Structure 1
């Protein structure tokens, strides 16, 4: 496993952060083009004691300098301690999360994506309770996805609701493989002992790899404390993401052979037996992009597309 430690970067800290002090929870927000303004603005009033929290953001490569400057200006106006770390080049999802963990000052870390917002006003209070009651060493709160106004985003919302949006009871029955890398509360010492594997590059599966690895040594659990997930993508973006993610899935199965019976792996093995199945990818792509079709057909076509590319590498 590779862990990158030398990542050139600059830091912008607001006045509250420069006053120092050790918070109880460091809220860690990596982003790449996504605007974290709504998340920051929604979180700040929920921190009943500003000394209990800090927000640390990480701009991974600064692809949008104007957005970076806007975030700097925004955090300067808050009394809650906030810092923006900016990498001089893109390092990826796993490396960004490891960097944030290394820069955090609190004994507990809460990872959130920049396109998220808290599910309700008790969002941070529930995590305080989870810490106070010592429910686990890492806690995943879950997601909620609103019905999008843009028809081009309805496929992604439907896929999220069927694949990722489950209550705590269902997720606890699944176990570690139901963990995601955002809306994740975790002890800082766990991240020091079990960082994300930075050999997972691009999109996908580094969160499952981390959770399965961590569950062998630490206590992991699920609770009902969802964050609302924005950042929905169009069908073409999802098709590209799932095709590229096949390589990471191969790495996941190589590192954890016991996961070979995950639904995606089983579907890929079945497709692999179908002669010439790769010729059907064009059909599955067209069905996925066809907004006039029922969403259940489009999501099935998208899953078949993903399984087809996975069949090439397992």
Structure 2
């Protein structure tokens, strides 16, 4: 009935699998949990414990294949038609997490996104930027997500049929630079597949430190630019690329790029402070976009 698919990389997923396994035992349904490790250097020994749980498996790839390819491979390995994708650094918020998803299983051509939350306790200063962004921009209510149902969809917690996944699987040809969920959601639009938003969240636990998150954010800007330049998504699908194209149209790209480089240290000082501004974070990413070589 249900295959739970968890791509892992340098993360201990035993607690997540154990929690899911305990919920599954109460449901008495046909279910499997597959964890596929993308050639990690850490936690592979600890995660072997997963193989001791009934109908659970932990496998390690010999070569790193990236976020898109590993999700496609997980779907291929799945036994059942209904696929529940979860990121390794998540944990269900509610005890009825699996049963809530089970109620959504029917013959409709749709995917179901349960949402994301962050723990209310503020983390240390060196992880604050990621937490502030997550709580303000990602941890949205169902009503807020439904205002933009596709762009608010994230791939860390969603239910999809294998037959639908075969139509809109993850594009393995794009660089491993993030925004694979952006392209995935746009493919859903093209295939006219509805995104159903429900309140069935997971906590996102894997907060990166400020420097790491900023580096990944810069990689994401490069990834977004690649999607737009390759005509895989329209420029106005994401606000950041839309604003960049307006700046480029009116000839301000080089001026903003110069300003970004001149004031980068000031940006970093504020973003790494106790009160990081998301407005300045948006300006930072837009400025960084302007420094990239135009197509």
Report the TM-score when normalising by structure 1. 0.83
Contact 1:141–1:226 (CA under 8 A) maintained in structure 2 = yes
What is the match of residue 140 of structure 1? 113
What is the match of residue 281 of structure 1? 264
- Which residue of 184, 190, 207 corresponds with 2:164? 190
> Does the alignment pair 1:212 with 2:186?
yes
Note the C-alpha offset of 1:228. Answer: 0.8
Cα distance in 2, alignment partners of residues 266 and 58 from structure 1: 36
Contact 2:12–2:46 (CA under 8 A) maintained in structure 1 = no
- Which residue of 41, 45, 52 corresponds with 2:18? 41
Contact 2:186–2:233 (CA under 8 A) maintained in structure 1 = no
What is the match of residue 47 of structure 2? 71
> Does the alignment pair 1:96 with 2:74?
no
Distance change (3 Å), C-alpha of 1:167 and 1:306: same
Cα distance in 2, alignment partners of residues 209 and 261 from structure 1: 10
1:225-258, Cα deviation, whole Å (9 max, x unpaired): 1111110011101111111222210132243453
Q: What SS does the corresponding residue of 2:7 show, helix, strand or coil?
A: strand
Distance change (3 Å), C-alpha of 1:174 and 1:259: farther
Cα distance in 1, alignment partners of residues 150 and 237 from structure 2: 14
- Which residue of 36, 59, 69 corresponds with 2:37? 59
- Which residue of 117, 121, 128 corresponds with 1:154? 128
Q: Which moved more, 1:238-247 or 1:263-272?
A: 263-272
Contact 1:94–1:198 (CA under 8 A) maintained in structure 2 = yes
Q: Which moved more, 1:141-150 or 1:105-114?
A: 141-150
Contact 2:113–2:198 (CA under 8 A) maintained in structure 1 = yes
Cα distance in 1, alignment partners of residues 242 and 231 from structure 2: 17
Cα distance in 1, alignment partners of residues 142 and 47 from structure 2: 33
Distance change (3 Å), C-alpha of 1:34 and 1:86: same
Distance change (3 Å), C-alpha of 1:103 and 1:169: same
What is the match of residue 3 of structure 1? none
Contact 1:136–1:221 (CA under 8 A) maintained in structure 2 = no
> Does the alignment pair 1:240 with 2:215?
yes
What is the match of residue 307 of structure 1? 286
Note the C-alpha offset of 1:278. Answer: 2.8
1:40-64, Cα deviation, whole Å (9 max, x unpaired): 1221111123542211111101222
Aligned length: 282
Distance change (3 Å), C-alpha of 1:242 and 1:92: same
Report the TM-score when normalising by structure 2. 0.88
Contact 1:285–1:302 (CA under 8 A) maintained in structure 2 = no
Cα distance in 2, alignment partners of residues 265 and 87 from structure 1: 35
**Which runs of 5 or more residues in structure 2 are unaligned?**
none
